[in-house]
Structure 1
Amino acid sequence: MGKKKVWGFIQSMGRSFMYPIALLSVCGMLLGLGSGLSELTLVKETAALNLIVSLLVEIGAFAFVNLPVLFAMSIPMGMLKDKEAKSYGAFAGLVGFMGMHLGTNFYLSTNNLLVPAEEMATSGQAMVLGIQSYNTSVLGGIIAGTIIYLLYPKIVAIRIPESLGFYSGPRLVPILSLIVMVGVGLLMPFIWPPFFNMFMTLGRWISSSGPVGYFLYAVAERVTIPFGLNHLVTSTFRFTPIGGSAMIGGEEYFGTLNMFMAYVKENQVIPLALAGKMEQGKLMIQYGLAGASLAMYQCAKKENRKSIQGLLIAGVLTVIIGGVSEPIEFLFLFVSPALFGFHAVMNGLANMVLPYLGVRMGFTGDLIQFLSFGVLRGTRTGWPIAVLVMIAYFFIYYFVFKWAIQKFNIMTPGREEPVTIEAQETMLSTEGETNTAYSQGKEMIAALGGKENIVSLDNCVTRLRLIVANMDQTDEQAIKRAGGIAVVKLDEHTMQVIIGTKVYDLRKEMDVILGGEQND
């Protein structure tokens, strides 16, 4: 049961990261768009257009300036179960985050350790929501949010005198959170400096390892996808000192994505060392997966090609436009781990080589980001070279997949029983709509062993995340007939069902059938 709790905690933590990351992606595109448009002569010479573009840049920068507190709020909101707990937990996350920095500020001020404004960046201090404290960046938000999540059930269980009943239950959480987190803040001056130095040393080692480090990082990001832990890997690099640090525009930034957005705001091209850790290889493998999809289509039996056409087209559109690769990856991951290994290596190679070819686009996880951070910012980003590599990857994947499927008779879609293909197509085709009778949700619940067997139900971008009482009561084939692309069993109680981008709608159906939306 301890292992089950660990998996559940890790999965919930990864899912809670999606709230700020979703906001970041939109703000990032606005920032890239504004930065690119600001270079146009028409914009420079037109006051009204210049103001609009400047506003776009400010809106885009919002999420990055406030990222730590967004994580502090999103972790309890994402990990706590019922709606009341989520709302009070998010509020307590904000209060606790401010309390932590308030405590640190008190210690630093009483010991005359606060530095002048012009020295803050070089001394590891910063203004955090108006409080001068250590620049703990996103790590501080994660620490605060995690502590609040762990404290919440203990605080709501406290019984206080009836005369003070107004302050009992959830209302007590932000009150005690403030007190506890001030105490944590008082301890930060003793804990944070050595912890921070350890992270900085690790970050410098990764940065100094050059091509090898860029390769291994990108491979690790892919191979953790089957376990749903890829977001934890990327978030560590994007938002913590492990991703590196840089002084940009007179301020110090930690994490690859924070540094990248600061360079975009300053309208500068990112340096080579940062480009190698910006997951640029993702864009290449997306077009590679398009080539793999064409190969799978051509290798399918002729009588089955029409039935898988919608499945593959939807997958290609999802990966190129939305940057979500799992719907295609899980079509071959389990039937051929070797092909997935090839796919992971190709991601590593692209990430390693692109910076040395002059590609400095940075974070380009989908088509819109490619246009915003690459094309609109000019050829200095190296986007024309990236297009050539995309084309090369399309054909490399196409020929490798076609050869491997035919040579080793790999059972990719269209080469197996039609019933499974049709079930997958029904789920992933953009034309399919969920009916009002919740039939698909009922079918999925039955395949998972019924209501009594489902201990916990959650979802991320593409998959259901479940804890079940008895894994033997689940039926993998029935799960696939209900719309699952693949099933990942992490231990005897924890499993994931890969669905695709319609996973949220399916989970909402299942919530209603299960008798509530406590996992929303």
Structure 2
Amino acid sequence: MFSYLQKIGRALMVPVAVLPAAAILMGIGYWIDPVAWGGDNIFAAFFIKSGGAIIDNMALLFAVGVAYGMSKDKDGSAALAGLVGFLVVTTLLSPAAVAAIQGVDVDQVSAAFAKIQNPFIGILVGVISAELYNRFSEVELPKALTFFSGRRLVPIVTSFVMMGASFVLMYVWPMIFDGLVGFGIGIKDMGPAGAGLYGFFNRLLIPVGLHHALSSVFWFDVAGINDIPNFLAGSKSIAEGTAVPGVTGMYQAGFFPIMMFGLLGAALAFIHTAKPENKASVTSIMMAAGFAAFFTGVTEPIEFSFMFVAPVLYVIHALLTGLSLFIAASMHWMAGFGFSAGLVDLVLSSGNPLATQWYMLLVQGAAFFVIYYVTFRTIIVKFDLKTPGREDAGDEAAAPAKAGKASHADVAGKVLELVGGKDNLVHIDNCATRLRLEVKDSSLVNDAELKRHVPGVIKPSKTAVQVVVGPQVEFVANELKKLV
């Protein structure tokens, strides 16, 4: 069950990866016309509407993206099945269709069906469609029906299965909807404290890869919060009453001080506490990782460098992240992102009408830089933690000195060698920063040596291995696939 949830979490990154396009388009539009938000400038409206086309169809993107992401061979037929399934479900469960099927007036239909086109339904449809693809994509029909065999069969099967699923959802969805809305209201009612609690668990779940699933509840319209689309929609959300300046963005804003500044303070602490003979290599590694964190918000190269060797520091990191979200939400310092909380997204969101006092996040970030540096350095020295550059002589878990210099092919070749070779490797996949490998026996993986070449290695089960590579992971995955 745990590994299956990880698989769903990984697949969620496929549709989420589209969000930067929306952020860029809408960010440019708000820059061009920061006052009327497209009302006084046709070019601004062009960009804002183009980005809005993505945001307004996130539920459909989830259905297609998750179906594709969870399919066994990443084939377009799985994505087509997701599209077919979503259209069947949302058509049969539209208020008018439900009223006709149940023989009642439209105004007597549960309000849940007015919200049937939401990311939760999209994810559900995507998961079912992917499972149908994995089961039926190689089925061969009798000769008279051969044309419809294999991958062509999947969308057909999906359409019939979704008819049955729609019938079940007709009675189950209102209960699910009420539960999700109740959860969302409960979090909203906690205000800044709820944002802080989310921030804490967001970081705490990174080691097991379930933070994407948690984030979907707060960032999208799974429980009625929908923080990212509401923020990116800007003036439209304000006009529709789905966004409030100083409030919308509270599940995003507090990440900027952590990713742009806090973890840089931690990286500096690692450099200053490294042994003299290791200081140069640790400085090189941390500068590269810090650059990625500051500009793009990709923090895993830094986080995995101390996550397992100094778990007490990681818990402190999670607590400080929660505190940062709480402070930003309490002070109504708001900014949003389409990818992650780095400088690029901060600049893009600065023209958004919902970005209130966003510049104060830079001040907060400077404070968190000092807090991280002082806290991490003090604890490292006091308890002699084996953070990067402080390993004992002969310790094989040294920092990944070669990761930043090696080519993608070199990294792929080293990974293949150290996970047990071709004979041990069953399946290759990746998310935003990690290789997600299925192996025959994870005990054959040379963790210690692998960590000399990559930021981190995780073994969720006896047949699963996650290798943290960084933003270039897709290129490494492609090279690895060529090798096998």
Q: Deviations over 1:8-27 (max 9, x none)?
A: 42232222211211111221
TM-score between both structures, scaled by the size of structure 2: 0.90
Which residue is equivalent to 2:389? 414
Q: Give, in angstroms, the shift of residue 426 of structure 1.
A: 1.9
**In structure 1, the residue corresponding to 2:420 is in which secondary structure?**
coil
Q: State the Cα deviation string for residues 128-182 of structure 1 (Å, max 9, x = none).
A: xxxxxx5341111111111111112333354432111111111111112112212
| Structure 1 residue runs without a partner (length 5+) | 1-5, 127-133, 245-254, 515-520
Residues 308 and 421 in structure 1, CA contact (< 8 A), matched pair in contact too: no
TM-score normalized with structure 1 length: 0.84
RMSD: 2.7
Is the 8 Å Cα contact of residues 263 and 270 (structure 1) preserved in structure 2? Answer: no
Partner of 1:252: none
Shift of 1:266: 4.6
Which of residues 459, 462, 484 is equivalent to 2:433? 462
Find the counterpart in structure 1 of residue 15 from structure 2: 20
What does residue 131 of structure 1 align with? none
Query: Which of 94, 109, 113 is the aligned partner of 2:100?
Result: 109
Q: Which of residues 154, 172, 175 is equivalent to 1:173?
A: 154
Over 3 Å counting, the alpha-carbon distance change for 1:202 and 1:440 in structure 2 is closer
Q: Secondary structure, in 3 states, of the residue corresponding to 2:388?
A: coil
User: Per-residue CA shift, 1:464-491, capped at 9, x if unaligned?
Assistant: 222322222121122123x222222223
The correspondence of residues 176-325 of structure 1 with structure 2, limited to 5 A, is: 176-244=157-225, 255-266=226-237, 270-271=244-245, 273-276=247-250, 278-286=251-259, 287-325=261-299
1:35 corresponds to: 30
- Report the equivalent of 1:72: 63
Are 1:472 and 2:461 counterparts? no
SS of 1:242's equivalent in the other structure is coil
Partner-residue secondary structure (3-state), 2:93: helix
Which has the higher mean CA deviation after the structures are superposed, 62-71 or 185-194? 185-194
Give, in whole Å, the separation in 2 of the partners of 1:358 and 1:337. 32
Note the C-alpha offset of 1:33. 3.1
Does 1:368 pair with 2:351? no
User: Structure 2 regions of 5+ residues with no counterpart?
Assistant: none
Return closer, same or farther for 1:256/1:114 CA change in 2, 3 Å cut-off. Answer: farther
2:38 aligned with 1:53: no
- CA deviation after TM superposition for structure 1 residue 123, in Å: 3.8
CA contact (8 A) 1:103 1:184 kept: no
Cα distance in structure 1, aligned partners of 2:446 and 2:207: 19
Deviations 1:422-478 (A, max 9, x none): 871321x3xx2517xx44323222211222222222211222222322222121122
Shift of 1:100: 1.4
* Alignment-mate amino acid for residue 174 of structure 2: P
CA contact (8 A) 1:335 1:410 kept: yes
- Return the offset for 1:371: 1.4
Q: Would you say the 8 A contact 1:31–1:60 is kept in 2? A: yes
1:415 aligned counterpart, secondary structure? coil
Structure-1 separation of matches of 2:454 and 2:37: 50
1: CA distance between counterparts of 2:323 and 2:347?
A: 23
Matched-pair contact (CA < 8 Å) for 1:462–1:500? yes
For the 8 Å contact 1:270–1:362, the answer to whether it is kept is no
What letter is aligned with 2:42? L
Q: Structure 1 residues 415-424 or 92-101, which shifts more?
A: 415-424
Displacement of 1:70 after TM fit? 0.9
Determine the C-alpha separation between the residues in 1 that align with 2:459 and 2:76.
Answer: 32
